[in-house]
Structure 1
Amino acid sequence: MAIQNKPIPALYTVYILRSTVRHASLYIGSTPNPPRRLSQHNGVVKGGAARTSRGNLRPWEMVGLVSGFPSMVAALKFEWALTNPHMSLHIPSSSRLTVSNGSKANGRPRRPSKSLISILSNLHLLLCVPSFSRWPLKLHFFAPDIFTAWQKWCATANEPLRATLSVVTDFERTASSSTEAATGGKGGKGISSTISDSEEEGEEQGEQLEPWGIHALPLDYMPIKEHVVKGQGVFDFEREGDCIVCRKRIDSGVGLHALCTNGDCEGVGHVSCWGRHFLPAHEVTHDSHIIPIEGRCPKCGGQIQWVDMMKELTLRLRGKKDVEKLLKAKRRRVIKAKAVKAAEKTTAKATARTPTKASAKATAKIALLE
């Protein structure tokens, strides 16, 4: 089997779809672009699954999803396991919650019908099994009732989720209801926020509120743009220096080297050294894990998520086109901002001489830049 020479994806998700007409109708799928995929399921654009094409079940909504998969194949494995919990080998027989109630004509077990509780319970189970428990996953909920059902299941589940698993909510923002952005489940922390008076006034005047739910998810590498730019400055100009863990000189272009993700810190180390630092020798046993989740930088002391550091590393080594696209987007925004600023200065100066004519010209110039 050929190894895919691609960087860790900017986003790849396994989602839960629910019919807004019939809440009992549910669907599980995977995608790197949730907004586009939802449009496909709802028939707005071509695509989507045959099971979601029935007009009497549309429109559909994405009520939850799992993100943070290290590859498309990883997401597809998780999707298959969540869709087929009665057959998945990732779930030990002793822990299986869903069983088949018959066989198909070909002799394979018949897939049991889905319910909200069965999906949430198997989702919890898969996040706890060894195959997926240490993956850098994040759980998102976009519907309050789904999140409430999740919390109830977590309160009664035999095995708790790992403390470092992030569970967040992002519910629809309206003037009459508060919005909560929280980390929940076992070991989670809650952070709530409400809509301000200015936002309420904006809605009354027809202004759009900030994107929420799947429309607020980052679909590209923009969240790690500054880290990528910092990496270019360090590695392109061979400023790696000494490994911040083993203190040995780093040979530029030889081996795998990772860069601290925190602000201006330019701490660089061998990937193997980072791994040993995050997983101290006294904690390593014959059955321990070899891939860390998080740790602190020896140079700046800041907290680092292993996946964030590896995302920049794989993007640097395998995603040349993605990096070029990311930096071009940055340059376009900078050029546009400078041009608009210059046009505004011209407007201010000209307005002092001939207000009406100057304003009209500057407005037209700025409009061309948009």
Structure 2
Amino acid sequence: MAIQPKPIPALYTVYILRSTVRHTTLYIGSTPKPPRRLSQHNGQVKGGAARTSRDSLRPWEMVGLVAGFPSMVAALKFEWALQNPHLSLHIPSDSRITVATQRKKPNGRRPRRPIKTMASIISNLHLLLRVPSFSRWPLRLHFFAPEVHTAWQKWCSTVKAPLRKTLAVFTDFRGPETENNDQPAPRTMSDTERSEMEERETDPSSGNYGIYALPLDYEPIKAYVEKGQEIFDFEREGNCVICHTAIESGEGIHAVCSNDGCEGVGHLSCWGQHFLATSSAEEDSDGILPIQGRCPKCSGQVEWGDMMKELTLRTRGQKEVEKLLKTKRKRVVKPRKKKTAE
């Protein structure tokens, strides 16, 4: 059975989980829906992981996450590398920070995973964001605990190797409004509460703090997607904004500028060559795929990751586009003709 291509996901994250009861107990996982996954870890929704199922460690909190992965597989690769920095082949041997000092029983052949600390996770996270395998991905960091963000800043100030300049880092230290700022005790939800929570998880406006403020769908790029649909549906491609040759509708792969009011369309290869040629030597000296660039038509900044998300939605995600734009036509049921009595 052939694997069907999918669009770049609206959100896929690798997260850092911390026990609110014992801050030294940490967990790393991945998910497209952080609110739901946190509820699973806390036993409010079925699922979760065996390592987070102990009531003595609940409730858990997400203190940080990495978002912007181009696929689920990409997120799983990053998750495994962050969980196993002593084994990951993405990390060169001479750059490895975490080293296994013990072997697993009973055969003792496989290196034992070292105990994770927040310092080790932060240092290896910084390292993975610098290695060639991940440094050019459109990733962004989110921190939800001030002490974790402080640890990140401290490590960044001590490491000589710089991160990509365009790496975005966000902080949101707001929490739920509970009495005395205490975390609510975990409990099993009723069917009605669970149903309401699942509805809120698909609505980005339902929460305004932490992981509940993350966009879980394509709503943030709705206008961009709608613009692309109109351009290509009505064959308004025109000439390529880079090479200036006519674009044949329905032939080849074409991308459109993401800036409001600009309908600049170009061949995908032209966009890539233009961005690489005009980017700084420091950012793209060894790059095959670009990170960002400026549109020749409007001179506005364009993120390559955003452009690819719209392109894959338009070419591979018709169901997602119909859901986002609500363009799916409803079936019209014609009234039956009444039989006349003979």
In 2, are the aligned partners of 1:15 and 1:66 still within 8 Å (CA)? yes
Query: How far, CA to CA, are the matches of 1:22 and 1:232 in structure 2?
Result: 50
For 1:118, the equivalent position in structure 2 comes to 120
Matched, 1:164 2:166: yes
In 2, are the aligned partners of 1:69 and 1:75 still within 8 Å (CA)? yes
Instruction: Give every structure 1 segment of 4 or more consecutive aligned residues whose post-TM-superposition deviation is greater than 3 Å.
Output: 1-4, 281-284
For 1:302, the equivalent position in structure 2 comes to 300
For 1:327, the equivalent position in structure 2 comes to 325
RMSD: 2.5
For 1:220, the equivalent position in structure 2 comes to 217
Q: Displacement, 1:3?
A: 5.8
Q: Displacement, 1:288?
A: 2.0
Q: 1:3 to 1:306 in 2, by over 3 A?
A: farther
Q: Displacement, 1:330?
A: 11
Aligned mate of 1:272, from 251, 266, 269: 269
Q: 1:141 to 1:272 in 2, by over 3 A?
A: same
In 2, are the aligned partners of 1:18 and 1:62 still within 8 Å (CA)? yes
Query: How far, CA to CA, are the matches of 1:234 and 1:249 in structure 2?
Result: 14
Amino acid at match of 2:150: T
Q: 1:107 to 1:257 in 2, by over 3 A?
A: same
In 1, are the aligned partners of 2:279 and 2:292 still within 8 Å (CA)? no
Q: Which moved more, 1:79-88 or 1:163-172?
A: 163-172
For 2:335, the equivalent position in structure 1 comes to none
Q: Displacement, 1:83?
A: 0.1
Query: How far, CA to CA, are the matches of 1:300 and 1:281 in structure 2?
Result: 15
User: How big is each residue's C-alpha offset from its partner over 1:250-287, in whole Å with a ceiling of 9 and x where there is no partner?
Assistant: 01111110010000110000000001110118988x97
Query: How far, CA to CA, are the matches of 2:261 and 2:96 in structure 1?
Result: 47
Aligned residue for 2:132, secondary structure, equals coil
For 2:313, the equivalent position in structure 1 comes to 315
Query: How far, CA to CA, are the matches of 1:167 and 1:298 in structure 2?
Result: 28
Taking the TM superposition and a 5 Å limit, the aligned residue runs for 1:78-117 are 78-104=78-104, 105=107, 107-117=109-119
In 2, are the aligned partners of 1:173 and 1:209 still within 8 Å (CA)? no
Query: How far, CA to CA, are the matches of 2:280 and 2:206 in structure 1?
Result: 48
Amino acid at match of 2:124: N
Query: How far, CA to CA, are the matches of 1:174 and 1:31 in structure 2?
Result: 21
For 1:233, the equivalent position in structure 2 comes to 230
Query: How far, CA to CA, are the matches of 1:141 and 1:4 in structure 2?
Result: 34
Query: How far, CA to CA, are the matches of 1:116 and 1:210 in structure 2?
Result: 27
> Can you give the 5+ residue segments of structure 1 that lack an aligned partner in the other structure?
176-207, 332-370
Aligned residue for 2:326, secondary structure, equals helix
Q: 1:281 to 1:305 in 2, by over 3 A?
A: closer
Q: Displacement, 1:173?
A: 5.5
Aligned residue for 2:122, secondary structure, equals helix
For 2:134, the equivalent position in structure 1 comes to 132
Query: How far, CA to CA, are the matches of 1:59 and 1:28 in structure 2?
Result: 15
Identity of aligned residues (%): 71
Aligned residue for 2:306, secondary structure, equals helix
Q: 1:23 to 1:234 in 2, by over 3 A?
A: same
Query: How far, CA to CA, are the matches of 1:137 and 1:234 in structure 2?
Result: 28
In 1, are the aligned partners of 2:322 and 2:328 still within 8 Å (CA)? no
Query: How far, CA to CA, are the matches of 1:137 and 1:13 in structure 2?
Result: 9
Give the TM-score normalised by the residue count of structure 1: 0.77
For 1:364, the equivalent position in structure 2 comes to none
Query: How far, CA to CA, are the matches of 2:140 and 2:292 in structure 1?
Result: 14
> Can you give the 5+ residue segments of structure 2 that lack an aligned partner in the other structure?
178-204, 330-342
Query: How far, CA to CA, are the matches of 1:287 and 1:109 in structure 2?
Result: 36
In 1, are the aligned partners of 2:175 and 2:210 still within 8 Å (CA)? no
For 2:196, the equivalent position in structure 1 comes to none
Query: How far, CA to CA, are the matches of 1:174 and 1:18 in structure 2?
Result: 17
Amino acid at match of 2:47: G
